[in-house]
Structure 1
Amino acid sequence: MKIITKIYLSIGFILLVFGFVTFAYFKQSQKVAKSIEQVLLSSEIIQTNSNLQHAVVNAQNGLRGFLLSGKENFLEPYYAGMASYLIELSLLKNLNRDKPDNINYLNQVDLEFNRWNDSVAAPIIQAKREVNTSEKARQHYNHLFYQSYSQEEGKIKIDTIQYFTGLIQKAETTNKNAQVAILKISQDRTDLLGIALTILALIIGVATALLLGKTIKRRISSMQNLASNLARENFDITLTDDYHDELSSLSADMNVMAKKLQQSFASLNKMNQELDQFAYVVSHDLKAPLRAINNLAEWINEDIGETTPDIRKNLSLMRGRVHRLENLINGILAYARIGRTKIEQTTFEFGDLLQEIAESLVLPPGFNFIFPTESLLITTEKILLQQVMVNLISNAIKYNNKSNGQVTVTAQEHGAVYLISVADNGPGIPQEYHEKIFGVFQTIEARDTIESTGIGLAIVKKIIEEKHGAIRVDSEPNQGTTFSFTWPIMLPVTVAHSQTALIHE
């Protein structure tokens, strides 16, 4: 199975779990909302039922006050109770439209209340108003009063009303308490379910991330190990991957790459060996006849005795051409070998290197060689830097046309490189030749004027570029020439520590 498929499945499963959590929350929320709705409905029914009871009591109290005082203003609570009763009864019936038992209770309440009002309250109120009009009216009032209060006809009807409203009150209180209990259970279940599913999703997510991360990290580490071995030219290592996914394809490609690199390096080493052998054979086969020609020219010069100056000049010119050709062969071999051999780095004093070069060169009379005055430790391949400096300095001496010739060498650290310059007071180089002089076999002077192979500066440029440096020439005719180049700074640990100690002191 592909890694991306595993990732998609893992994420999909986690999303599925969270989707289920959301759905469960939604369903539980619906239950909670329904329970809250039922609790609120029961609370409203209870409150409205209490208001209905209060309206009945107000009507009853208003009736009693009027009967005791005979004053009409005492009937205000009665009329207010009657009006409030009708309003609350209508509200109760609307609230209980889905509760048939409560509707039946309310019908009984309404029946009994109307009976109380029609058979008790309304007749006795009218009789009370007419009680003083005649003896017959007084007797009628006394009869109604006796029936209502002595026989408790009115009380029985009011008690019946209170009984049915009490049933409603009890039923709704019980329902309210039950819904509150259900609501609490729903909330607890919702919380537990949410916590459990969230923990499950987190466990699955963490486990999946760890499993995939560990698998991918281990395999990537193997690839990094292979890449490191390839960088160290160790091509024997291979990757084994049986997962059959994207990284497996990458591992297979890296194995193929390692094998091809191994074949390429083996072929390259073989070609280099053959090239070295060829160069050795060619140089040996070419140098042998050159030496023979040189020896022959010397023997002829010795044997001819006194002869014309032209003949001796031609023999000298022949020997010069032979030496030039031999130097040219050596230069070509040196140029071809640059960058192909591993040279050990050493730490040395730059001034000492210049002193060795000066002692190895033959300086013309009156020629001045100026060294840097400051000490400069350099860690690099000494032989390469020596070859660069020898070529630049020897060129400055060879081509100088002044009787008081001078070569000045400067060197300083410049960021991550050394900036080294070789300046002379010679004839200078025209602008159009500044790039041409670095080409192989390129010279400014005619070869017959100054013996030169035209390969020295090409070797200099190739060495500097192999070290990831750069070289440039600043010169004008009759203004001297300055070659400036950069050389990377590579400080060894021991040198770095000694410098740090000096700084602290």
Structure 2
Amino acid sequence: MKIITKIYLSIGFILLVFVFVTVAYFIQSNKVDNAIDEVLLSTEIIQANSNLQKAVLDAQAGMRGYLLSGKENYVEPYYAGVAEYLIELNILRKLNQSKPANIGYLNQIDQQFNNWNDSIASPLIEAKRNVNAGPKAQQEYNRLYYKTYTREEGKTRIDRIRYFTDLIEKVETRNKKALVGKLKTSQNLTDLLSLGLTVLAVIIGIATALLLGKTIKKRILSMQKLASNLARGNFEMKLTDHDHDELSSLSADMNVMAQKLQNSFAHLKKMNQELDQFAYVVSHDLKAPLRAINNLAEWIDEDIGETTPEIRKNLSLMRGRVHRLENLINGILAYSRIGRTKIEQNTFDLRELLQEITESLAPLPNQKIIIPTEPLQIQTEKILLQQVLVNLISNGLKYNNKPNAEVSVSAELNGKNYLIRVADNGPGIPPEYHEKIFGVFQTIEARDTIESTGIGLAIVKKIIEEKHGAIRVDSEPGQGTTFSFTWPLSQPVVLAPI
């Protein structure tokens, strides 16, 4: 299975858990909302039932007050209680539409209240108003009063009303308590479910991430180890991966790359061995005939004695060509060996190195080499820097056409590099030759005019570039020449022996 598929499945599973959490929370929230609605309904029923009881008591109290005082203002609570009763009864019927038992109780309450009002309260009030109309009116009032209070018919009906209202209150109070408990349970269950599923999703996510991360990390570390081995030149290591995913393909590609590098390295090693063999042949087999030719020319020159100047000139020219060819061979060998073997670094004073170079070049009386007066410690391959400076300084003297030739060398630290300049007061170099002079076998003057192999500046540039430095030339005809090059503070380079 591909890694991206594993990641998608893991994310999908986590999302599925969160969806389940959301749905479960939604369902429980609906249950909580329904429970809250039922609690609020029971509360409203209890309140309306209490208001109904109060209305009945107000009606009863108003009737009694009027019967005792006979004053009309005392009967007003009766009428207000009857009106309030009708309002609260209507409210209770609406609130209890889904509760048949309560509707039955309300019907009983309404029946008892209507009987009390129609047969007791209303007739008594009317009889009280007409009590002074005559003996019959007084007799009727006494009958009704006796029926109400002596036989307690009024009290019986009021007690029945109170009984049913108490039933409604008890039922709704009990129902409210049950709903409140159910509500708390639902809330707790919702919180626990949400928390539990969320924690589960987080645990699954972390476990999946750790598992995938550990697997991927282990395989990536193996690839990193392979890359490190390749960087160190160990091409034998191979990766083993059977997961058949993107990293497996990458591992296979790295194995192929390692194999190709191993083959290329073996081929390069073989080519280097052949090049070393060629250098040995050139160094020993080609130089020997050249030395023999040179010795033979010297013997002929000694044996012929006095002869024409032209013959001596030709012999001298022949020896010069032999020396040039030998120098050319040495230059080619020096150029080819750059970058193939590590050279030990040394710490030395640049000023002392320039003094050694000055002594080895042995400038003529009209030639002057100016070196820095301040010491500058350098840690690098001394032989390479010496080869660069010897070529540049010797060129500055060799090609200088001034009566008093001068070559000055300066050096300074420039960031992570040494900036070294070699300037002369010679004839200068035309701009069109500024790049060509660094090519192999390139010279400005004819070789018969000034002895040169044309490979010195090519060696200089290659050494500097192997050190990851850069060289440039600033010159105009008649204004001298300045070679400026950078030399890293400490950067190893390799050089193959001849």
TM-score (norm: length of structure 1): 0.94
Instruction: Report matched runs for 1:151-190 at 5 Å.
Output: 151-190=151-190
Instruction: Report matched runs for 1:129-140 at 5 Å.
Output: 129-140=129-140
Residue 283 of structure 1 and its aligned partner are, at CA, apart by 4.5
Q: Which amino acid aligns with 2:5?
A: T
Partner Cα distance (1:376, 1:269) in 2 = 39
Instruction: Report matched runs for 1:57-76 at 5 Å.
Output: 57-76=57-76
> Is the counterpart of residue 54 in structure 1 residue 54 in structure 2?
yes
The alignment yields a C-alpha RMSD, in angstroms, of 1.6
Partner Cα distance (1:337, 1:491) in 2 = 18
Q: 3-state SS of the aligned residue for 1:440? A: coil
Question: Could you give the per-residue CA deviations for residues 62-101 of structure 1, whole angstroms, max 9, x where no partner exists?
Answer: 1111111111122221121111111111111111000000
Q: 3-state SS of the aligned residue for 2:75? A: helix
> Is the counterpart of residue 406 in structure 1 residue 440 in structure 2?
no
Report if the CA contact (8 A) 1:3-1:246 is conserved. yes
Partner Cα distance (1:381, 1:215) in 2 = 46
Q: 3-state SS of the aligned residue for 2:132? A: coil
Q: Which amino acid aligns with 2:160?
A: T
Partner Cα distance (2:76, 2:439) in 1 = 127
List 4+ stretches of structure 1 deviating above 4 A.
none
Q: Which amino acid aligns with 2:156?
A: I
Q: 3-state SS of the aligned residue for 2:222? A: helix
Report if the CA contact (8 A) 2:467-2:491 is conserved. no
Partner Cα distance (2:142, 2:165) in 1 = 31
Paired position in structure 2 for 1:448: 448
Partner Cα distance (1:23, 1:374) in 2 = 83
Residue 230 of structure 1 and its aligned partner are, at CA, apart by 0.5
Q: 3-state SS of the aligned residue for 1:413? A: strand
Paired position in structure 1 for 2:375: 375
Q: Which amino acid aligns with 1:109?
A: I
Q: 3-state SS of the aligned residue for 1:368? A: strand
Larger mean Cα displacement after TM superposition, 375-384 or 481-490: 375-384
Residue 491 of structure 1 and its aligned partner are, at CA, apart by 8.6
Question: Could you give the per-residue CA deviations for residues 433-455 of structure 1, whole angstroms, max 9, x where no partner exists?
Answer: 11111111111112111011111
Paired position in structure 1 for 2:327: 327
Larger mean Cα displacement after TM superposition, 425-434 or 448-457: 425-434
Instruction: Report matched runs for 1:453-468 at 5 Å.
Output: 453-468=453-468
> Is the counterpart of residue 144 in structure 1 residue 144 in structure 2?
yes
Partner Cα distance (1:470, 1:166) in 2 = 107
Structure 1: tracts of 5 or more residues without a match: 493-505
Q: 3-state SS of the aligned residue for 1:218? A: helix
Q: 3-state SS of the aligned residue for 1:444? A: coil
Q: Which amino acid aligns with 1:277?
A: Q
Report if the CA contact (8 A) 2:423-2:483 is conserved. yes
Paired position in structure 2 for 1:33: 33
Higher-RCO chain (CA-CA 8 Å, sequence separation at least 6): 2
Partner Cα distance (1:90, 1:12) in 2 = 55
Report if the CA contact (8 A) 2:35-2:180 is conserved. yes
Report if the CA contact (8 A) 1:473-1:481 is conserved. yes
Residue 412 of structure 1 and its aligned partner are, at CA, apart by 1.1
Partner Cα distance (1:138, 1:105) in 2 = 37
Residue 121 of structure 1 and its aligned partner are, at CA, apart by 1.2
Q: Identity of paired residues, percent?
A: 75
Paired position in structure 2 for 1:298: 298
Q: Which amino acid aligns with 2:98?
A: D
Partner Cα distance (1:111, 1:219) in 2 = 88
Q: 3-state SS of the aligned residue for 2:240? A: coil
Partner Cα distance (1:490, 1:282) in 2 = 33
TM-score (norm: length of structure 2): 0.95
Q: 3-state SS of the aligned residue for 2:421? A: strand
Paired position in structure 2 for 1:496: none
Residue 356 of structure 1 and its aligned partner are, at CA, apart by 1.9
Partner Cα distance (1:310, 1:78) in 2 = 163
Larger mean Cα displacement after TM superposition, 377-386 or 32-41: 377-386
Partner Cα distance (2:337, 2:51) in 1 = 113
Question: Could you give the per-residue CA deviations for residues 340-364 of structure 1, whole angstroms, max 9, x where no partner exists?
Answer: 2222222222122212212211211
Partner Cα distance (2:11, 2:377) in 1 = 60
Residue correspondences, number: 492
Residue 291 of structure 1 and its aligned partner are, at CA, apart by 2.4
Residue 472 of structure 1 and its aligned partner are, at CA, apart by 0.6
Q: Which amino acid aligns with 2:184?
A: K
Partner Cα distance (2:321, 2:7) in 1 = 76
Residue 401 of structure 1 and its aligned partner are, at CA, apart by 1.6
Report if the CA contact (8 A) 1:379-1:491 is conserved. no
Q: 3-state SS of the aligned residue for 1:210? A: helix
Structure 2: tracts of 5 or more residues without a match: 493-498
Report if the CA contact (8 A) 1:412-1:419 is conserved. yes
Larger mean Cα displacement after TM superposition, 60-69 or 340-349: 340-349
Partner Cα distance (2:336, 2:247) in 1 = 42
Q: 3-state SS of the aligned residue for 1:468? A: coil
Q: 3-state SS of the aligned residue for 2:423? A: strand
Residue 279 of structure 1 and its aligned partner are, at CA, apart by 3.1
Partner Cα distance (1:190, 1:203) in 2 = 20
> Is the counterpart of residue 226 in structure 1 residue 226 in structure 2?
yes
Paired position in structure 2 for 1:210: 210
Q: 3-state SS of the aligned residue for 1:341? A: strand
Partner Cα distance (1:491, 1:306) in 2 = 58
Partner Cα distance (2:16, 2:423) in 1 = 77
Instruction: Report matched runs for 1:338-349 at 5 Å.
Output: 338-349=338-349
Paired position in structure 1 for 2:384: 384
Larger mean Cα displacement after TM superposition, 9-18 or 446-455: 9-18
Partner Cα distance (1:209, 1:384) in 2 = 54
Paired position in structure 1 for 2:495: none
Paired position in structure 2 for 1:270: 270
